[in-house]
Amino acid sequence: MTANATRLAAVALAAGLLMQAGGGLAQAASPEDPAAKLRDPSRVVVIAHRGCVGEAPEVSVSSIHACAGKGIDGIELDIRKSSDGVLVAIHDATLDRTTNGSGRVADHTAAELRELRLRRGNGGRSVVVTDEHLPTVEEMLLAAREHGFIVHLDIKDATHAEVADLVERLGMEGQGIAWVTGSPEDSHQPDPGDVRALAIMARIQDCPEGAPATCRPNDMRDLMGFARYDPAGYFLWYRSTPEFFAAFNAAERPPGTRLSTETLWEIDNLPPAQRHAEYRRLLDAGATMFLTDKPRDLVSFLQREKEESR
């Protein structure tokens, strides 16, 4: 054996010993599979609503990078279409609040939209314009894939099948969440075969006091009705009554599905002590996924809870 071959053999042996001693360094170096994390309802998952917004514009590539390394599990983005059919990431139907453009998103081509620049944070006409362009959904997904994030896909103006095709093309099957709403038998529901690349989350609606007169609550039998989608879980509004949460938890549903909710607006705007009490209430109600505008605060709260329970 040559001296070089001897050195290579020694390096290989040392690497093998290190992997045994450390429980597998190669495995530890690999990022956690976001699709597997999403499918583990024992894990509490934190999703940053519109990304980590601050200096970064909302629903931007930089708002995804800003979430990295902070214990956040995923990001949320909104999907619309350009006039020539390209999926773009923007919340509003119009450009005025978040960009230096104006008018309807759907009235502009993808090339025209790309020329626009995003406003910092949550935008507004008086807010500074950044150098960041309005992104396509593909650009957002690639950034999320880089960091191993779960992606909550709020489909505003596209079909579930179109979004699923993009997710599959990028090799992100099961990593992207998409809502379905209403009854499982409604005619608008997507074909399960067309959305296999997506982790479906069915919105199960309560109609608490103060809800619009048109509100239609879901029957708990809908939980099994959505089973044909192999759902990752179900979404319940944080304002749902304790009785509705209890009925959900008592109802039959596919094994391995989680309860998702949000803390947007009212909860996120509370003082910290009250906000944390609401986090605890929702955890006690069975929630294991949170869509939030305060992702770092929620991560810190969960870490403290874990340490105090030891």
The enclosing domain of 56 has a CATH number of 3.20.20.190
Residue 82 vs residues 179, 264, 288: alpha-carbon distances, Å: 21, 28, 35
φ/ψ of 152, rounded to 5, equals -90, 115
Q: Is the pLDDT of residue 30 over 80?
A: no
φ/ψ of 273, rounded to 5, equals -60, -45
Asked if 275 and 60 count as a contact pair (C-beta separation under 8 A), the reply is no
Is 7 contained in some domain? no
Burial of 145 from C-beta contacts in 10 A (0-12 / 13-18 / 19+):
middle
Is 185 contained in some domain? yes
Is 226 contained in some domain? yes
Is 51 contained in some domain? yes
User: pTM (2 decimals)?
Assistant: 0.89
Separation CA 185–CA 175 (nearest Å) = 26
Is 43 contained in some domain? yes
Is 25 contained in some domain? no
Which of 13-27, 198-212, 217-231, 256-270 shows the lowest mean pLDDT across its residues? 13-27
Q: Report the helix count and the strand count for the chain, using DSSP H and E.
A: 11, 11
Is 254 contained in some domain? yes
Section 201-230 average pLDDT? 93
Q: How many domains does the chain have?
A: 1
Split at pLDDT 50, 70, 90, the class of 25 is very low
Closest C-alpha to 186, from 166, 141, 216, 146: 216
- State which residues form the domain around 115: 36-308
Asked if 106 and 80 count as a contact pair (C-beta separation under 8 A), the reply is yes
Mean pLDDT over the full length of the chain: 91
Is 21 contained in some domain? no
